Amino acid sequence: MTASLAMVTQRFLALAAIALAAAGLALLLMWLVRVDFLLWLVAANQWLADVVIYRLGYWGVFALMFIESSFVPFPSEIIIPPAADLARRLPDWNLASVIVLGTAGSLAGALFNYAVALYLGRPLLLKIIDRFGNYMRISRREYDKAEAMFQRHGAISTLAGRLIPGIRQVISLPAGLARMNLALFCLLTALGAGVWVAMLAWLGYWFGGNAEQLAGKLQAYSYGIVAAAVLLVAAYLWVQLKRAKR
């Protein structure tokens, strides 16, 4: 194995370790939460639907998902399932609009985080590196290399990160710091957020009237989506290692 191949292999193994650690943390958090908390969370589903979501309307769904995806992360489980429950019970609500506006709100919140990281966080980070880089053993050149690496391989992080609870709200920050291609960021964020919102909407539509059943389904499907994100990252890393060996 040549030195360059060894370097590439080490980098991808490091990426794999980070991805697996993040997924493991998400699974641990989900295990700690378990069905009991979810049951308490969705027990107020109908109250939220009738008193909060209905009064706010579709644009309320958009605004709440914007907040959930940006600077005040709170569970999207208390936004989309109640809205989908309204779509089941009321003729002037429909499931497609809930999914579209929920996804759009998530994308808007992610773009807010991206912009904050790009226009405020990145200049501050570079100033810190320039001033204290010698003490932290990191130079501007090394940061540029890390940024270039994220630009090459950050797409998989953005897509998979949107599918993992607890990570989906903050995955936009490194994308903004690394100046990830904006069109690609929007595409992958909308895709990941769309999968998550569609899952919540479908469960809220069919099980919104039964809090216990909805809580169980939310946990089971959340585990499935996290597992799919882990497999997606693993497949990407395997393909990249194969290319590196060639």
* pLDDT tens figures, 187-196: 999 999 999 9
Q: With H, G, I as helix, E, B as strand and everything else as coil, classify residue 109.
A: helix
User: For residues 234 and 16, is the Cβ–Cβ distance under 8 A?
Assistant: yes
With a CB cutoff of 8 Å and minimum separation 6, the contacts of 202 are 84, 95
Question: In sequence order, what DSSP letters do the residues of 153-192 get, joined into one string?
Answer: HHHHHHHHHTTSTTTTTTTHHHHHHTT--HHHHHHHHHHH
Q: 121, exposed or middle or buried, with CB in 10 Å at 0-12, 13-18, 19+?
A: middle
Query: Which range is most confident: 6-10, 27-31, 68-72, 83-87?
Result: 83-87
User: For residues 193 and 108, is the Cβ–Cβ distance under 8 A?
Assistant: no
57: left (phi over 0), alpha (psi -120 to 50) or beta: left
pLDDT at position 170, please?
Answer: 80
Q: 243, exposed or middle or buried, with CB in 10 Å at 0-12, 13-18, 19+?
A: exposed
* CA pair distance 161, 156, nearest whole angstrom: 8
* pLDDT tens figures, 210-226: 777 787 788 788 888 88
Tokens linked to 4: 């360059």
- What does the domain layout of the chain look like in residue ranges? 3-245
